[in-house]
Structure 1
């Protein structure tokens, strides 16, 4: 199990578009890397699951959880973006990002206990 510091650093790297981050490949390279997407959503989930939140949240985290779902949807819905996977995969990916944002802002997971959250794959 990762420490809170490791979980936070991993998510910050994703949200700051660090080396290997999903967004870094999405734009300007026009690459939807499925493994990088799983890494992003795993980092977001770990943060929601493991990092205690109270009345206040870190601004960088709030900005990332708000920005990433909207940005990914907008960028990859553009007619010029090469969509190499079935459209239902992208719909499930967008729903996962929306669910993670919901979890972050409400502190309630978007699924019932025992639900198999599992990674989104094509």
Structure 2
């Protein structure tokens, strides 16, 4: 899981070549970077099931993805070429990954 965590750390810190940096900085939807991010997010979700806690930086990263990517892709100059493209469907997929139920204490259920 260390490799997956490292992928998410690079993505959430918007390091060079990351999906988030390409999307926000270059206004470009990088399919390869997106696939790498989504795969890592899904893997962490699967492997974290049953865990009572999640590192704060991971929780914040998931929140930022769920919040910012839909906003960025809805802007007039966004990287999303059209409603029928890969990007909007992918943004929905990211939102689905980040929409795990949370209990009153803020723990993922």
TM-score (norm 2): 0.80
What's the CA shift for 1:69? 2.0
Could you say what secondary structure the match of 2:65 adopts? helix
In the other structure, the counterpart of 1:102 is: 99
What's the CA shift for 1:83? 2.6
**Which of 25, 28, 38 is the aligned partner of 1:28?**
25
**Which of 79, 83, 87 is the aligned partner of 1:87?**
83
CA, structure 1 residues 49+101, in 2 after alignment: closer, same or farther (shift >3 Å)? same
In the other structure, the counterpart of 1:7 is: 4
2-structure distance, mates of 1:76, 1:13: 21
In the other structure, the counterpart of 1:115 is: none
1-structure distance, mates of 2:36, 2:9: 12
| Alignment gaps of 5+ in structure 1 | 108-122
| Alignment gaps of 5+ in structure 2 | 103-107
Query: Does structure 1 residue 61 correspond to structure 2 residue 78?
Result: no
In the other structure, the counterpart of 1:74 is: 71
- Whether the aligned pair in 1 keeps the contact of 2:63 and 2:98 (CA below 8 Å) is yes
What is the CA RMSD across the aligned residues, in angstroms?
Answer: 2.0
CA, structure 1 residues 82+9, in 2 after alignment: closer, same or farther (shift >3 Å)? closer
Q: Give the number of equivalent residue pairs.
A: 103
In the other structure, the counterpart of 1:111 is: none
